[in-house]
Structure 1
Amino acid sequence: MSVLYPTLLLCAYGFFSNLRPLEPFLTAYLMGPDKNLTEAQVVSEIYPVWTYSYLVLLFPIFLATDYLCYKPVLVLQATSLVVTYVMLMKAQGVLAMQLLEFFFGLATASEVAYYSYIYSVVEPTHYQRVTSYCRSITLFGSAAGSLTGQLLLSVAKAQLFHLVIVTLTSAAFAFIAPWFLPMPKRSLFFHKNLGAAEERQRNSSSPLMEKVEDAESKVPLNSQEVSAVQVSRSSEAGSPRTSLVEVLRILFDDFLKCYRCRPLLAWSLWWALATCGYFQVINYAQPLWENLRPSQEYEIYNGYVETLSTLLGALAALLVGCLPVSWSVWGELALCVLSLLMAVCLFVMDTVRNIWLCYSSYVVFRATYMLLITVATYQIAASLNMQRYALVFGVNTFLALLLQSLLTVVVVDSAGLGLDVFTQFLIYGSYFVVISMVFLAAGLWKLASRRRSEQEVLANGQAEAHSPPISDAGACT
């Protein structure tokens, strides 16, 4: 029951907070008669604010989430979503829409609380099952929202303003759930559960603890580093509260240890680079579609496209475990090939001015990204304990947002080049070609290193075979 109650509330919150029928039609709504904004205002002045807000708020929200023990930040996220859609319904003008994007950036940055709350209230044996429930329900909510919006437009002949009302209603339902969640008594960094720490020390010889210790040692550390980490962790467990300076020191030390691991560094590099491009594409796909098929003149099908891409992405994520690929050997080359496929999809969206090919390319692009990000998530998580898992994923997302902000300032923002949306997608396609080339070089270098190592081992084996035999007495000394 202690697992079921918070899980049901989190799933309800995740579903309703992601049930946003308006989202696939946001650009059409802003450029339509309700808001009467121009494409340049929407693309170059309003949408970039979300990127900047997300970047600036991510690290403070990450620390606040742990310090406040998750629940208050979930309430903040729910409140931000309600404020966002109230403003979308009532407010007018560019400045108001920029403020709206700030609140949406706050809500997006607060998602860390949703995905980390459950780890503070359930036992580690339930982590995998509960995480799968929460992630699945958010994808299902997103797909259901997109489909609902499309059906309301195409079948019920509703207006875009009605989609705002439905989305706000869903956000209001989501707002209720976090208030009833139990307040956690521990967190990863600031608040340590003293009783749990003592219990772990008493049961340090149990098989479960051996597994936890094994997880701690998955990131390669030398013996001195291991002992230092054990001393650090034991001293932290001795007090239920940790100061901000100590938390920052722990984060920095763990950061250095994690990113010395070359496989983790490679997957993290792809994560940051590809997520940057992915955010740009999903942010500015709607303006591209609006140019190809204006919503004021034709019926648009953005909702069906978002639904299909979300469901295929979820299916691709599920199929990762069934793919007979040795990611440790072929990972870099697989990233190269599939990143090149994503680049091709973007070039098709940019150069072939056909809305149906554009829709199809977008679906393939999203599904490919979700497949690869699932592989990257698994490869990174397999090397880390939970504390470092949160740190590495947070750092990767921060780097992605930093790169995205730079790209937005130069390419999209009216303060920079302020390029039209077709030129933007040409740049995004070229960006993924560069990613592909980086991992082609990394993959070829890795295969060459592996072959060289095998030849050295073979040569050493042959040398030993031709060397004079060693006496038994000599072998034992």
Structure 2
Amino acid sequence: MLYKIFRIQIYRVDLCFRFMEHSRHERSWLGPTILLCSYGFFTYIKPSEPYITPFLMGPHKNLSAEEIVNQIYPVWSYSYTVFLVPIFLLTDYLRYKPIIALQGVGYIGCWLLLVFSGGVPLMQLMQVFYGLATACEIGYYSYIYSVVDAEHYQKATSYVRSSTQLGLFLGSALSQILVSVAHIDYIYLNVISLVNVSIGFIIALFLPFPKRSLYFYRKAEPVKASVAENVDEIDEGDITVIPPVTDNTQPDFVEHEADVQELSSAPSGCSRWKSVTYLLLEDLKHCYSSPQLLRWSVWWALSTCGWILVVNYIQNLWELISPSQGHESEVYNGAVEAAAQILGAGAAFSVGYMRVDWKKWGEMFLGWGSVIKSGLLLIMYMTTDIWICYVAYIIFIGLYNFVITISQFQIAVGLSTERFALVFGMNTFFAVVLNSLLTLIIVDDAVLGLDAKTQFVIYSGYFGVIAITYLSHGIYDLCCKSRQDTEEEPVSSEEIEDRLLSATD
């Protein structure tokens, strides 16, 4: 009897320790997530952004609309393109935290120049710092996957995304309140932004340094026997590389099973870079070999490029329709941006409750979405009423967030975290390169140097071309599927008997 009681007590103690260990493991992901969310929250509260163009044109900088549109703003596109590739490659190798800190440095440099300097050359340098900061976003959004377990990915991702959206909304709303109610000068909006990004940088320094990354410092995983037989393992600590299995028999862009193979133990890092580069190229080849993923990715890149152009130059269009100088309290850029963020967040949230066969109707949806965006941009070009332009912009941002969420969801189906980051990184790269090319041709004064109003009629035509392309292919695809369904329609037993009787006769 005493032996049974003793065993029961030991069992209870063991359960208690297991529960404590489970609770500690459950809480271990919260610390890095809270720090990263705090970093994103402060970094994205930048109340000066909705009023950056009025500020540059105001008495503090005294820049002309042509200098801002054709000489200063294009530098961001070129800088973003130049920084994106090395940042993309270094993010995994440096294990994320240094890239996040570098993003903070970029934002601090940008707002230091906005507050304390002037002139076209220094404002162009300001855009270089901003391009560096935006290129480093890939480190911010990828960091969380290196410090939490896969079971917490969904929650952690949701919290991180929500913190940035909340920061953007509060920054826009705060700017409108300060300008319309407190009537403060635009320079103080930039000072507040500088303080917030500096706080974000300090928080980034306290982020735990990941012990692993997705490619360069990935820990070895259990391998199936059938796969392990074909893997030549070479020991080198915890560093592994996962070569892809190019199995063409799998369904549309469903993630292929990965082998696990150690990186070469050569003393230099050359072989490690070669192995990872080979892995990335093979993964890209495998992922983009799917026609469905390719179509969604192309639309994602094209639409993102158009969205960047619109967001970058919308304030210049507002300035042409309703100049801000002399009546700053009547400028509602902050309220418009805040409303756009709320509508965009609501539109993205609603996607989770839609039940649509996207494989069948996806291209038609993308096409009609592009038609509406083209029409909204045409309205912005034609109207002389600032409120109509405001409303059209808010609907444009909401629609973009709605459709881009569908696109991201469709691309991410069946992709593991590694391929998810890789595909979205490449899509962003293509979008930024195309954006730089269009900026050079349309905006930069070295080529056409068009004014903001003329730019928007071109942007409308750009989305019109996307709409025609996807609607045409979508209708063709629907016709092919309808004809295929008709040909494969099962024959009833009565029809079979009639055919046999007719053949006998």
Pair in the same fold by TM > 0.5: yes
Provide the C-alpha distance between the structure 2 equivalents of 1:88 and 1:460, rounded to a whole number of angstroms: 73
Residue 27 of structure 1, aligned match among 53, 56, 59: 53
8 Å contact 1:18–1:138 — kept in the other structure? yes
Residue 305 of structure 1 pairs with residue 331 of structure 2: no
Q: Secondary structure at the match of 1:79?
A: helix
Residue 276 of structure 1, aligned match among 305, 316, 321: 305
Cα shift at 1:201: 6.3
Residue 320 of structure 1 pairs with residue 351 of structure 2: yes
Cα shift at 1:403: 1.0
Matches within 5 A, 1:204-223: 221-222=248-249
8 Å contact 2:48–2:190 — kept in the other structure? yes
Provide the C-alpha distance between the structure 1 equivalents of 2:170 and 2:204, rounded to a whole number of angstroms: 21
Aligned CA distance change for structure 1 residues 48 and 220 (closer, same or farther; 3 Å): farther
Where does residue 318 of structure 2 map in the other structure?
A: 289
Cα shift at 1:420: 1.1
Moved over 6 A (4+): 216-220, 237-242, 459-464
Provide the C-alpha distance between the structure 2 equivalents of 1:129 and 1:442, rounded to a whole number of angstroms: 37
Where does residue 95 of structure 1 map in the other structure?
A: 121
Where does residue 403 of structure 2 map in the other structure?
A: 372
Provide the C-alpha distance between the structure 2 equivalents of 1:449 and 1:248, rounded to a whole number of angstroms: 39
Cα shift at 1:233: 2.9
Provide the C-alpha distance between the structure 1 equivalents of 2:245 and 2:319, rounded to a whole number of angstroms: 48
Provide the C-alpha distance between the structure 1 equivalents of 2:48 and 2:423, rounded to a whole number of angstroms: 33
TM-score by length of 2: 0.85
Q: Deviation string for 1:398-421 (max 9, x for gaps)? A: 111111111101100011100111
Provide the C-alpha distance between the structure 1 equivalents of 2:406 and 2:245, rounded to a whole number of angstroms: 18
Residue 455 of structure 1 pairs with residue 486 of structure 2: yes
Q: Return 5+ residue gaps in structure 1 as ranges.
A: 205-215, 469-477
Residue 79 of structure 1 pairs with residue 116 of structure 2: no
8 Å contact 1:65–1:113 — kept in the other structure? yes
Provide the C-alpha distance between the structure 2 equivalents of 1:171 and 1:430, rounded to a whole number of angstroms: 37
8 Å contact 1:381–1:389 — kept in the other structure? yes
Cα shift at 1:388: 1.1
Where does residue 239 of structure 2 map in the other structure?
A: none
8 Å contact 1:219–1:258 — kept in the other structure? no
Provide the C-alpha distance between the structure 2 equivalents of 1:448 and 1:248, rounded to a whole number of angstroms: 41
TM-score by length of 1: 0.89
Where does residue 104 of structure 1 map in the other structure?
A: 130
Residue 283 of structure 2, aligned match among 254, 263, 266: 254
Residue 136 of structure 1, aligned match among 152, 155, 162: 162
For these two proteins, the number of residue pairs brought into alignment is: 448
Please tell me the residue identity of whatever aligns with 1:282: V
Q: Deviation string for 1:410-463 (max 9, x for gaps)? A: 100011100111110000001111111111012111101111211221278899
8 Å contact 1:70–1:117 — kept in the other structure? yes
Which 10-residue stretch deviates more, 15-24 or 378-387?
378-387
Matches within 5 A, 1:113-262: 113-194=139-220, 197-198=221-222, 221-222=248-249, 233-236=259-262, 243-262=272-291
8 Å contact 1:218–1:384 — kept in the other structure? no
Q: Secondary structure at the match of 2:259?
A: helix
Cα-Cα RMSD: 2.4
Percent of aligned pairs sharing the same letter? 44
8 Å contact 1:185–1:193 — kept in the other structure? no
Q: Deviation string for 1:43-72 (max 9, x for gaps)? A: 011101111111111111011110000001
Q: Deviation string for 1:157-194 (max 9, x for gaps)? A: 10000101111111111011111111111111111224
Aligned CA distance change for structure 1 residues 457 and 76 (closer, same or farther; 3 Å): same
Provide the C-alpha distance between the structure 1 equivalents of 2:202 and 2:468, rounded to a whole number of angstroms: 48
Provide the C-alpha distance between the structure 1 equivalents of 2:332 and 2:428, rounded to a whole number of angstroms: 30
Please tell me the residue identity of whatever aligns with 1:43: V
Cα shift at 1:323: 2.2
Aligned CA distance change for structure 1 residues 96 and 347 (closer, same or farther; 3 Å): same
8 Å contact 1:13–1:174 — kept in the other structure? yes
Provide the C-alpha distance between the structure 2 equivalents of 1:173 and 1:44, rounded to a whole number of angstroms: 33
Residue 267 of structure 1 pairs with residue 293 of structure 2: no
Q: Which has the higher helix share?
A: 1
Matches within 5 A, 1:390-469: 390-458=421-489, 465=496
Provide the C-alpha distance between the structure 2 equivalents of 1:292 and 1:320, rounded to a whole number of angstroms: 34
Aligned CA distance change for structure 1 residues 461 and 438 (closer, same or farther; 3 Å): farther
Provide the C-alpha distance between the structure 1 equivalents of 2:466 and 2:436, rounded to a whole number of angstroms: 18
Where does residue 86 of structure 2 map in the other structure?
A: 60
Cα shift at 1:294: 0.8
Please tell me the residue identity of whatever aligns with 2:428: T
Provide the C-alpha distance between the structure 2 equivalents of 1:71 and 1:325, rounded to a whole number of angstroms: 39
Provide the C-alpha distance between the structure 2 equivalents of 1:236 and 1:311, rounded to a whole number of angstroms: 46
Aligned CA distance change for structure 1 residues 246 and 217 (closer, same or farther; 3 Å): closer
Provide the C-alpha distance between the structure 2 equivalents of 1:399 and 1:453, rounded to a whole number of angstroms: 34
Q: Secondary structure at the match of 2:489?
A: helix
Residue 355 of structure 1 pairs with residue 386 of structure 2: yes
Cα shift at 1:267: 0.7
Provide the C-alpha distance between the structure 1 equivalents of 2:492 and 2:455, rounded to a whole number of angstroms: 56
Please tell me the residue identity of whatever aligns with 2:470: F
Where does residue 471 of structure 1 map in the other structure?
A: none
Provide the C-alpha distance between the structure 2 equivalents of 1:430 and 1:236, rounded to a whole number of angstroms: 50
8 Å contact 2:264–2:272 — kept in the other structure? no
Q: Return 5+ residue gaps in structure 2 as ranges.
A: 1-26, 228-242, 501-505
